[in-house]
Amino acid sequence: MRAAERGRALSRAPLLLYRLLAEGRYDFTYDQMPVSVRGMPWPKRLNVLRSGLNLLRRRLRPWAMPLHIQAELTSFCQLKCPVCPTGTGELNRAPRSMRPALFQQVMREAGPYLLTASLWGWGESLLNPQLREILRCAAGSGVVTFLSTNGQFLDRESVLRDILDYPPSYLIVSIDGLTDETNARFRAGARLEPALRGIHRLAELKRERGLRLPVLHMRFIAMKHNEHELPQLEAFAASHGFDMASVRSLVIYDSESGLQAHLSLLPGTRSLRGYEYQGRRRIRRSDHVCMQPFWFPSVFADGTLVACEQDFNAGQPLGVLGDGVSFADLWYGPKAAEVRRLVRDEADSLSFCRNCPNQDRPVTDTSLRAVFLNPGLSNPLVVEGGRA
């Protein structure tokens, strides 16, 4: 979060507070996906309120349980994207699929407080063989959920059934080119056909059954080799049945070769870049206030909890969930306090903070803009009782 954004959030506090306490309502945008939660249960209202205090003072023992969580459904992938540690093979954690029992534990213990859960990490979510159980638990959790996929398994009837029976709030499909050639320049090994066939089918089944969810979201990372396709993006997404499309900037991760690959893929159009550059050097910024360890941890597929998803090899684990270890034990534990102190006071001592993808961006969101294509869909997505 930028310092100015923190200031704006604090200046909106009286209105937010009134809506939160009087109506149980909280409106927010998650990486260009707008959501309005209404009629929130009291534990969640109070947690949002207490979380706001983290903006005033980032205590090592935070004022609240997290607002957001990332749950890594798998730590492996069939593609080889060049600016992703999984794609490049720099992820050295064992390839694992999250067990439903672990996901259930997270949702049982943290779910009553969470606004959102992102159902992905450093891997391809649809490769989890127990996807159905996880989606079932997510759909019943009262949390707004986002599921991101490279779409390569979306042509499987069983996957479509799982998604429609227990829909996430938003289904994000990563497509970075309007032809197989441009898409596979980043999505190495991907084909458009399974992803597009799956979306056509999902849109058709949603229409037939009168379903609102999931919101079908095409996410496109703007790069050198695909920026010329942007004028056709909306028409392409609409013609294939997507409800919305967004343009995302290419971000860095903690790796020297990843940084070089990032530079070689930068779009020529400056407004499509995530950062500003002087020659090949990224211009550093000092107005970043990191909130990640205070309200947005990640649970990796094997149960390891980390303060920030950018710690992709879990170099600073807060601990491992399960076997009698609860979410609160780790969230409020001594290791979490130590990692928060490092992130807050000595960020330069952590390589994932030195190479933080958020620090040098002029805005908080990675995505640059989004457009809703389905006039029948409410914008923002209204979610009653925290449940979509």
Ligand X SMILES: C[S@@+](CC[C@H](N)C(=O)[O-])C[C@H]1O[C@@H](n2cnc3c(N)ncnc32)[C@H](O)[C@@H]1O
Note the residues at the interface with ligand SF4 (CB under 6 A). 77, 79, 81, 84, 86-87, 123-124, 150
Told to check if 75 binds ligand X by CB under 6 A, we report no
Distances (CA, A) of 204 to 210, 212, 236, 374, 388: 10, 12, 17, 13, 20
Interface of this chain with ligand X, residues 128 to 157, rule: CB under 6 A: 148-150
Rounded to the nearest 10°, the torsion over CA 283, 247, 223, 177 is 170
Give me the sign of the Cα torsion angle 178, 371, 297, 386. negative
Query: Closest distance between ligand SF4 and the C-beta of residue 85, in Å?
Result: 8
Phi, psi of 70 (to 5 degrees): -115, 130
Residues 40 and 23: their CA atoms lie apart, in Å, by 8
| 32 in Cβ contact with 365 (< 8 Å) | yes
Q: What is the DSSP letter of 25?
A: -
Angular region, 161: left φ>0, alpha ψ -120 to 50, beta rest: alpha
Interface of this chain with ligand X, residues 80 to 119, rule: CB under 6 A: 81, 83-84
44 binds, among ligand X, ligand SF4, none (CB under 5 to 8 A by kind): none
Instruction: CB nearer to ligand X: give 44 or 219.
Output: 219
Query: Closest distance between ligand SF4 and the C-beta of residue 167, in Å?
Result: 21
Told to check if 250 binds ligand X by CB under 6 A, we report yes
Q: Applying CB under 6 A, what is the total number of residues that bind ligand X?
A: 19
Instruction: CB nearer to ligand X: give 16 or 196.
Output: 196
Instruction: CB nearer to ligand SF4: give 72 or 291.
Output: 72
83 binds, among ligand X, ligand SF4, none (CB under 5 to 8 A by kind): ligand X
Q: Which residue in the block uniquely carries the two structure tokens 């949390």? A: 143
68 binds, among ligand X, ligand SF4, none (CB under 5 to 8 A by kind): none
Q: What residue type is assigned to position 335 of the chain? A: K
Which chain residues interact with ligand X by CB under 6 A?
Answer: 77, 81, 83-84, 120, 122, 124-125, 148-150, 172, 174, 219, 221, 248, 250-251, 366
